[in-house]
Structure 1
Amino acid sequence: MCPHDPACPAAEAPDREAARTLASHPEQGWSLLCNGVVLFEDTGELLPSGDVIAPHRPHPLVGAA
């Protein structure tokens, strides 16, 4: 369970990447989030269930200069 108040998003939540970082290893290209998600520098993710989320890039804002 997440000890933060408010609690971090669950690993299954769409905003799971907003969880706090527990361990950061930029030299290896990954970070462990409070919800158990391993976030890779290429934006790929490994969920605690073993599911893999392919790397994804945010869509550019429409009309942004």
Structure 2
Amino acid sequence: MCAHQPPCPGADRPDHDAARVVAAHPEQGWSLLCNGTIVFDDTGELLPGGAVRAPVRQLWSGTVTLAA
């Protein structure tokens, strides 16, 4: 499927997000990767077999310092 050298990681690999973008649609919020994965701006993913990965929601754990 992938003609890049080195080849892009397959959709079943943990590093599948490292595949190259072959079609970008930022106005719609998604991109198609070389391995067939569709990634969305909110970090959700649609894998080639139809599996869905929910967006990753990270909580901010820093502290806020207010200026005096």
Tell me the TM-score range normalised by the shorter chain. 0.7 to 0.9
Question: After the TM superposition, which parts of structure 1 deviate over 2 Å for at least 4 consecutive aligned residues?
Answer: 57-60
TM-score of the pair, normalised by structure 1: 0.85
Q: 1:17-28 maps to which residues of 2 (within 5 A)?
A: 17-28=17-28
Give the structure with higher Rg (CA): 2
Residue deviations 1:19-62 (CA, integer Å, cap 9, x gap): 000000000000000000000000000000000011115788xx
The percent of aligned pairs where both chains have the same amino acid is: 63
What residue number does 1:47 align with?
A: 47
Unaligned runs of 5+ in 2: 61-68
Unaligned runs of 5+ in 1: 61-65
Could you say if the C-alpha distance between residues 18 and 58 of structure 1 is closer, same or farther in structure 2, counting changes exceeding 3 Å? farther
RMSD of the alignment, in Å?
1.7
